[in-house]
Each structure stands twice: as C-alpha cells, then as structure tokens.
Amino acid sequence: MGYESDTTTASTSGAPSFAAAHHGFPKARPQRPCDNCRKRKSRCEMSENDTQCVLCQFHSKPCTFLSDPPKKKRRVSEGLIEPTRIPPSTSRAIQEPPPTDPAVEVRRRDQPAIKDYADLRGPSLLKKTLGLQNHRHSSLVGPTSVYEPRLLGLPAFQPGKDIAVGPRALRKVSATETFVLEPDTGTRNHDQEMDDLDTIEAVVAPHGPRLIALYFRIVHPTFPILHKRVFLEKYERTYREFSPPLLAAVYILTLNWWSYSAELSLLPKPDECRLEEIAFKTMGDIVHRPKLSTIQAGLLLLQRPDTHSWALISQLVGVGQDLGLHLDCTPWRIPQWEKGLRKRLAWALYMQDKWGSLVHGRPSHITAADWGVRAVDAADFPESAADEDDEEGSTEVDKGRVLFCEMIALARILADVLRDFYSVAAEAEARANAPAGVAWVLRRAKPLQLRLKSWFAELPECLRLQDVGVRKLSSTGYLHLAYYAAEITLHRRIVATLGRADTDNPELARVCRLAARERLVNALDFVNTLRPEHLQSFWYSASTYNFALIGTFISLLWVTSARPEDATFYKQKLEEYRWSLRLASKGSEVLERAIALLSASTGVLVKAVPVTAGSGLLPSAGPSNGFEEIQDDEDLYGMGEDATIMSPGFNESGDEGAVVIQPLDQEHLLPWLGDAFHAIGNGQQPYLGYDKL
C-alpha cells in the first residue's frame, strides 16, 4: 500500500540501490564527501549530471572540497560517536528554539540511532520498554499458537525474563501473556530506514524542533496518543530513533498550524506532498516490524482531512492485535508509562474503528467479545496543566484529557447503535420484523437514546461549547459534532422505517418526524454557534463526514416528507446549511472538505426528488405534522406532563444545554417515548426550534 518514493538514497554500505541505478536518482558517490556534508556528518549524495550534492542544493550552499578530513572522534561503547545533546528545557521539554544556521541544525540532529535502549547510559524511560524497542519488534503469542501455554507456564520461565529461541526471544509479561521478540534486521526495507529519516528531516530542515513544539501545543492535548517525554527524549538525541512514517505524520499534521508560530509564519512551508509520499511508502514497510509507533503513525495519518482509508484502519486493527492492544495490560511486567500509553492507544484505535465503520459503512473489526481493555483514568495521562503551553493559540491540556475520555464513552454508544441497527444481523432482523413497523425500531432504540441523553447531560462544564479560554484553541467542537452525528445516525434509521408497514400509527409517525426535526435543528444551531477558536483547532478524522451527515439527514427528511410544505421546508434548510458551511469555511479545511463531500453526496441525488415530493410518501397524521405554528400545546398534543420530548439545544442567548419540553398525546404514544425523552427538571426554556420556526 502507499506510494513509491521518487527519491531513493544509497544504502549504508555505500552501494547504490536498485532504484537509484535504474532511475537516475541520487546515489552514493565514491569520492570523499564535500566540506558541508562532512561538517554535518551527512552522507554526500550527488546525481550523475549535477555539480552540487543534494544537501548543498537544498541549503543553497557552495559544494566545495577544500577542507582536510577532520581527526577521528573518540569512540564510546557500541562503537558509536557520543551524540551532541540538546540541553533540557527548564519549564517544558522542548520550546521553540531561536533561529539557527541550517548547517548547525543538521549537525546537531544527524546522529547515529541507539541500537538497544537497554544499553543507554543514564536514566531513560525506554530501557525496559516492550513495544518501542529500537532494534526488534514484538508479537503476541496467542492461545492457539505453536508455543504451548502450559509449557510457557512452567516455573523455569518467569515473567520479565527473555527466553532465547534462536534469533528470537520469548518474553513473558504476565502469568498468561507472552510475546515473541524478533530482530528488525532483514525485514522489508529495514536497511532504508535511515535514508528515509534523513530525507524527511531534510524536507523540513531546519524547522523540525519548531514543528514538534507546535504539535505538542495544539494536537497532542486532545489526541494524546504519543508519550511526550519519551518522544522528546528520543528527539533530543536524534530524529533517527523514530519510525519514518511517525516522524513524517507528526510534521504533516502540524503543518496545518504553520502560521501559529511567529517565526514559521513568515517562511515558506516545507513540501507536504513529499512528506506524504514518504509516509505512506514507509507505512507499508513498518507493518512488517510492528511496534506501538506503527499504530501512532497510522492514527496520525488518518487524522489528515483528506485521508479516508478503511483498508488502513483494518490494517491498524490487525497490527494492534499483534501488539496485544486488545488485552488488559494492567498486570503486565512493563514500565508504568507504557501501560498508560497502551491503554490510550488501544482506545484511540477502538474509536477509529467505530467511527471508521460509520464513515465507510463497513462492519466493525473490534467486537466486545475480544476486547478486554480497561477504561482510561487520570493516571494514564502523564501530562497535566503544569505542562501546558502559555503561548496564544495553544490547547488546554486538562480539557483535552477530559475530551479524549468523553469521546471514548461516546464511541462505545455509537458502537452499539451500529451493532443494533446497521450490522448484517441487525438488517436481517429488521426485515424479519418489518410487519411490526416503526414500533419495533422504537423499542430497540429506547436504551440507546437514554444513553445518549445521559452522556450529554453529564458532560463536564469545561466541555460545554461556550467554554473557550482566552486566546486558546478549543477542540470541543468535534466532540459535540460527534454527538449530533450519533443522534442523527439513530434517528436516520427510525425515519427510514416510517411508512413501510400498514400498522404504523399516523400519530406515532408524526411524533417520530417531530423528534427527528428536533435533532436536525439542534445540529444546525450547533454549526451556527461554532467560533473561530473551534474551527481553527484540531478536528477528529470523522468530522468531515459528520458535517456532511447533517446535510444527508436533511435530504432524507425532504424526500420522506408527508406534505408539500414540509418538503419545501427541508429543501430550504439544505440550501441554508450549504450556505452556512460556505461562509464559515474560509480558513477551515474540515469545512471546505465537508462542503465538497456534501456536494458529491447530495448535489446530484436531490435533483431527482420529484417536484411533488411530500404528496403522501408517508401516512398523514391529519393537519398536525409538526410544522404548523404551535399556538396551544395542550390543545394540540393532549395531556400529561410526563409525555415529553427532551433534547439538548441552544437557548436564545446561544448557550448550550436548553431542554425541549414538548407535551405529546399518550393515547397514541408507545410507552418508551414517555420515559426515554423525560424532562430533566421543571422550568426549562422551550427549545428554540419549536416556537421560532
């Protein structure tokens, strides 16, 4: 999968690679390196017909051969040159450094990678890592493996000790779980990793440290799938300790906020296309030596607004199972920081699978029967408010942690919505119960609707949409959008079921459409209340689809309208929604892509809606279809304050949390509607949509 790199550098042995030999790309030169490359300690590469090497051309430096070779540096253990260290920051692990000469920057960064973290001198978080070793990768021993669990359980094999098996090793991490450790050497294109890393860093040089600082300021707080201290410890030594797609993915994602650095905003952006090319090409390589960094790289690449790859999600789920991410790692003998990282990565993968299933309309890969990961808690997040960046345009760390946890909780509800209404088994069950009409769907939807309402009602105050810090970016927009998408996904199935059975009660159909319209207008109000602080922040990968889903839901309500005036109403709402997105999309890539997706999904299809839409596609409930002006709620809907519809919305001042209290006729209402949409309390303001539209 991925792309083929259009620039292939020489192998470490100095012999030109096959691609270089056959395509005329840069290859190793037998002569000694030029003066600049010697100073940078970089490989000096020159194309066949060039007079300057690649790095000298890139940095606009004269390519000369005047200096004498320097004296050999003193060697240290493992035969490596002791790397130049970046002094640790006093307040945060990395801050935006002052501008430096490119040659100095490359000399500082271009150091040999550590072969085995266990041999590191001095303190390091990486010394006992299982999933981020630099020279070998791990794979879970499953219950049906050729390695018999009863043999591995013998007293001679204790957890935490490696058992040599030829070039491999077995490591027990608990009484029941064992991993096979295999060397990276010999796996697909492993010998090209250093060249790929050098190319990635050359593309962004000398701006790498500033981009890393931007990443941890803006993206990481709300999508904490990296371990900040571990990442920066490696980066301070050398960029060569990373897997190529992870380093490239961090740079690619951060380029979206290039203008949020005072120094970078005045400079031209690096070649993003080149970074993407290398990232996807190397992603296809590292799945053959899977590590936690493989999952990190894939998840970050999927957060790009134009990356929609169900195949990549499927591959990541398989790699995650290889790494044991579907299991509870709490009792394992691995570093505590890695346990927290594994749990965060596992739930990030779970979310990607569930939202990807919704976006692509495909069966989910992760099932409850094979998922044993415990819920994340505060101890699994190593950063706190003390690690927050005070610079304007940053993201709040504590709020980001809470947001990540709530997004996990919402994904678990979505998983059940998809299982109960959109799985192959659910579709078959719905067909079997078609004679029962919408009543069967409503009974099935009741517990899910209750869970969605409870989730929203219990959101912490810091995640309310209007809670935005001064000169801070806020990613709460994508969380609220995800909530409305989950609501719409549930009601989309209810509306699509209406009118398919003669048993459907007209009053019940009216109530269902009224509830659906309520969800729609709430979602439209939400979009209209988004602020620049939301639109300029990090948006989760499903957000483009979720914005477009609102438009798709409008088109469904339009084509299933029971009266012409209702059809006209929804037609106008769709046009207004497109206009609202267009106005707000300036400078917001997620909205620009949502507009394009909406145009592709509904722009042509809605033209086929008959001019007479609304002339009886659904059973009519008489004059009351929920669109006429409501003058007297009690006369219109009948009796009973318990028979109410409740939904979060926005009051007239734009504050979130207003509750819909709408009396309904209990005589024609299934029992579930009364308690599923119960009022939280008394005295709430009426929902804006009902008395204003």
Q: Which residues contact 501 (CB under 8 A, 6 or more apart)?
A: 434, 435, 436, 437, 438
Domain count, the chain: 3
Q: Phi then psi for 511, rounded to 5 degrees? A: -65, -40
Q: Find the DSSP H helices in 361-437.
A: 397-421, 424-432
Q: Is the dihedral of CA 303, 307, 312, 317 positive or negative?
A: positive
Tens digits of per-residue pLDDT, 111-136?
A: 666 778 888 888 889 989 999 998 99
Scanning the structure block, which residue is given the tokens 């799938």? 225
465 falls within a domain: yes
**Are 532 and 630 in a shared domain?**
yes
CA distances (Å), origin 273, targets 6, 44, 249, 284, 662: 11, 24, 12, 17, 53
Each as own residue / partner, the long-range contacts of residues 278-281 (CB below 8 Å, 24 or more positions apart, any chain) are 278/5, 278/196, 278/199, 278/200, 278/203, 278/244, 278/245, 278/248, 279/2, 279/244, 279/245, 279/248, 279/249, 279/252, 280/1, 280/2, 280/3, 280/245, 281/2, 281/3, 281/4, 281/5, 281/196
Torsion region of 468: left, alpha or beta (phi above 0 gives left; psi -120 to 50 gives alpha): beta
Q: Is the dihedral of CA 348, 351, 352, 353 positive or negative?
A: positive
Instruction: Give the span between the Cα atoms of 264 and 246, in whole angstroms.
Output: 22
Per-residue pLDDT, 110: 56
Final residue of a structural domain among 326, 358, 383: 383
Q: Which residues contact 415 (CB under 8 A, 6 or more apart)?
A: 354, 364, 368
Instruction: Give the span between the Cα atoms of 110 and 276, in whole angstroms.
Output: 21
Q: Phi then psi for 543, rounded to 5 degrees? A: -65, -40
The angle formed by the CA atoms of residues 48, 44 and 183, to the nearest 5 degrees, is 110
> Would you state the structure tokens that stand for residue 539, as one six-digit string?
């948006």
CA-nearest of 465, 478, 454, 479 to 654 is 465
Q: Is 307 exposed, middle or buried (0-12, 13-18, 19+ CB in 10 A)?
A: middle
> Would you state the structure tokens that stand for residue 383, as one six-digit string?
């950063």
**Are 438 and 377 in a shared domain?**
no
CA-nearest of 656, 352, 651, 307 to 480 is 656
19 falls within a domain: no
Per-residue pLDDT, 359: 96
Per-residue pLDDT, 91: 34
41 falls within a domain: no
**Are 455 and 572 in a shared domain?**
yes
What parts of the chain have a pLDDT lower than 50? 1-30, 72-105, 107-108, 615-648, 650-654, 656-693
685 falls within a domain: yes
Residues in the chain: 693
**Are 154 and 196 in a shared domain?**
no
**Are 498 and 398 in a shared domain?**
yes
**Are 632 and 545 in a shared domain?**
yes
Q: Is 651 exposed, middle or buried (0-12, 13-18, 19+ CB in 10 A)?
A: middle
44 falls within a domain: no
Q: Is the dihedral of CA 646, 647, 653, 655 positive or negative?
A: positive
Q: Phi then psi for 576, rounded to 5 degrees? A: -65, -40
CA-nearest of 203, 215, 279 to 245 is 279
Measured torsion, CA atoms of residues 446, 449, 450, 453, in degrees rounded to the nearest 10: -160
SS3 46: strand
pTM value is: 0.77
Tens digits of per-residue pLDDT, 675-690?
A: 333 332 333 333 322 2
Q: Which residues pair with 648 in a beta bridge?
A: 659
Please give, one letter per residue, the 3-state secondary structure of 126-149. Answer: CCCCCCCCCCEEEEECCCCCCCCH
Instruction: Give the span between the Cα atoms of 391 and 393, in whole angstroms.
Output: 6
Per-residue pLDDT, 156: 85
Q: Identify residue 286 by its one-letter amino acid code.
A: I
Q: Strands 394-395, 472-473: parallel, antiparallel or unpaired by DSSP?
A: parallel
Instruction: Give the span between the Cα atoms of 295 and 46, in whole angstroms.
Output: 35
Per-residue pLDDT, 587: 80
**Are 363 and 254 in a shared domain?**
yes
**Are 417 and 358 in a shared domain?**
no
Q: Identify residue 392 by its one-letter amino acid code.
A: E
Instruction: Give the span between the Cα atoms of 230 and 134, in whole angstroms.
Output: 13
307 falls within a domain: yes
Q: Which residues contact 378 (CB under 8 A, 6 or more apart)?
A: 401
Q: Identify residue 602 by its one-letter amino acid code.
A: T
SS3 178: strand
Per-residue pLDDT, 640: 31
Q: Which residues contact 586 (CB under 8 A, 6 or more apart)?
A: none
91 falls within a domain: no
**Are 307 and 419 in a shared domain?**
no
Final residue of a structural domain among 383, 404, 434: 383
Per-residue pLDDT, 10: 35
Final residue of a structural domain among 383, 415, 447: 383
Q: Which residues pair with 555 in a beta bridge?
A: none
> Would you state the structure tokens that stand for residue 15, as one six-digit string?
């012999």
Scanning the structure block, which residue is given the tokens 């550590």? 114
Instruction: Give the span between the Cα atoms of 412 and 205, in whole angstroms.
Output: 41
Range(s) of the domain holding residue 221: 190-383
Torsion region of 94: left, alpha or beta (phi above 0 gives left; psi -120 to 50 gives alpha): beta
**Are 659 and 594 in a shared domain?**
yes
In the 8-state DSSP scheme, what is residue 11? P
**Are 337 and 404 in a shared domain?**
no
Instruction: Give the span between the Cα atoms of 94 and 120, in whole angstroms.
Output: 21
Each as own residue / partner, the long-range contacts of residues 439-442 (CB below 8 Å, 24 or more positions apart, any chain) are 439/503, 439/504, 439/508, 439/670, 441/493, 441/494, 441/497, 442/494, 442/508, 442/512, 442/670, 442/672, 442/673
Peptide bond into 83 cis (omega under 30): no
**Are 646 and 533 in a shared domain?**
yes
DSSP states of 236-258? HH-GGGS-HHHHHHHHHHHGGGG
Instruction: Spell 395-421 as b/e; 16+ CB within 10 A means b.
Output: bbbbbbbbbbbbbbebbbbbbebbbbb
- Under 8 Å between Cβ of 233 and 275: no
SS3 649: strand
489 falls within a domain: yes
